[in-house]
Amino acid sequence: MRDPTGFLGEEYRQLAAADLDWKLRQLEGPSAPRCTIDGHPVLMLCSNNYLGLSNHPRLKEAAIEAVRTRGVGSGSVRPIAGNMDLHVELEKRLARFKGAEASLVFQTGFAANAGLIPQLVGEGDLIVSDELNHGSIIDGVRLARSERAVYRHGDTDDLERVLREAEGRAPAPGRILVITDGVFSMDGDIAPLDRIAAVAADHGAMVYVDDAHGEGVLGEGGRGIVSHYHLPRDRVHVEMGTFSKAFGVVGGHISGSSDLVRFAYNKSRTWLLSGSHPPAVVAACIAAIDVLESEPKHVARLWELTRRFKRAMADLGFDLGSSATPITPVIVGDSATARKLSDRIFELGVFALPIVFPMVAKDKARLRTIMNAALTDDDLEFAIATFRKAGRELRLI
């Protein structure tokens, strides 16, 4: 009898034979600059925990207190019985932090994109997407019943061309949604959101930005890419983000008009049909906003270390691509070399994973490093010295 699940093992074996399968490493203990991976003490240099908040005392205390007073679960989805006072407080605090009319918290950033994008457009409408947008955006676009078009990465002239051509067709699209990452996670470059918003406004298009890697990093006090460009709120209609990175916890969210939020929680099935965050998570997210508002030193430290690391790595001769953020790719070329470099620095005590084809182009394999505000000066010097040693051994510099 034919095994209907035989393709599962076969496809995995093909990935493994091509060395394209994920080999999961195990973090033993908290996400911190000095940690233990697979029993090996290392300096963590690839975590999204930009500000070190996942281990911040105020977040931990808030989570513990929420468990004491409200238990470990919400008991339901939010539309039925799981809408706790903490959820409402978090959304009010987030909206105030972002300078928006309203905010809505989703279970994850992926859930926000997958749940909201297909509801904003439908048949006869058009989504225009940057060619390097995150996979969660791509999946959200695929779920929509609208037409789709792609513009060259970060190229607003090409965006203008795509919009102009779409409007010249008969029939012209109805609603148009322009969507982009704020910070692109593989290269660390920043979307030209000011110019994107201007082009979109000229064509009456909505603008949706996924700022997962910009929050806590860009803008005044880490308020994100809209703040970074000093854009009026009505120029960016959906500002999506996540608590899973610089905020140090977990969860997705959107900010914008009150109409947007009411629309989203009535139409997004990922929000409607998923259990709400447990009290500890929500309380920790509120505490993360408190820390960002009252302790600006974390964002300042992140950028100080980022500038020093980029300068030292460039001086050594490493190719850092077009990064303008704490995401700093160390581009080495082919996938085998990227894996060798990652393995060697791990042996020397630094953890940064290789990013290889098909996640990036075949000749653009790299180690994606991410700076962390909790690193000490000694940690930074150790990281640089490790790359210097491994880079010279592999004749990369």
Sheet containing 350-351: order of strands: 27-28, 34-37, 40-44, 350-351
Q: How far apart are CA 106 and CA 145, in angstroms?
A: 22
Contact (Cβ atoms closer than 8 angstroms) between residue 372 and residue 53: no
**Among this protein's residues, is 98 annotated catalytic?**
no
- Catalytic status, residue 185: yes
**What is the Cα–Cα distance from 67 to 283, expressed in whole angstroms?**
9
Return the number of other C-beta atoms located less than 10 Å from residue 170's C-beta: 4
Q: Which residues contact 154 (CB under 8 A, 6 or more apart)?
A: 130, 189, 191, 192
Whether the Cβ atoms of residue 321 and residue 184 lie closer than 8 Å to each other: no
- From the list 185, 227, 335, 342, the catalytic residue is 185
Which residue's structure tokens are 């972002």? 98
Q: Of residues 98, 245, 277, 364, which has the active-site annotation? A: 245
Is the Cβ–Cβ distance between 52 and 60 less than 8 Å?
A: no
Which of 134, 213, 237, 310 is the catalytic position? Answer: 213
For residues 395 and 330, what is the distance between their CA atoms, to the nearest angstrom? 14
Q: Is 74 part of the annotated catalytic residue set?
A: no
Residues with catalytic function: 185, 213, 245
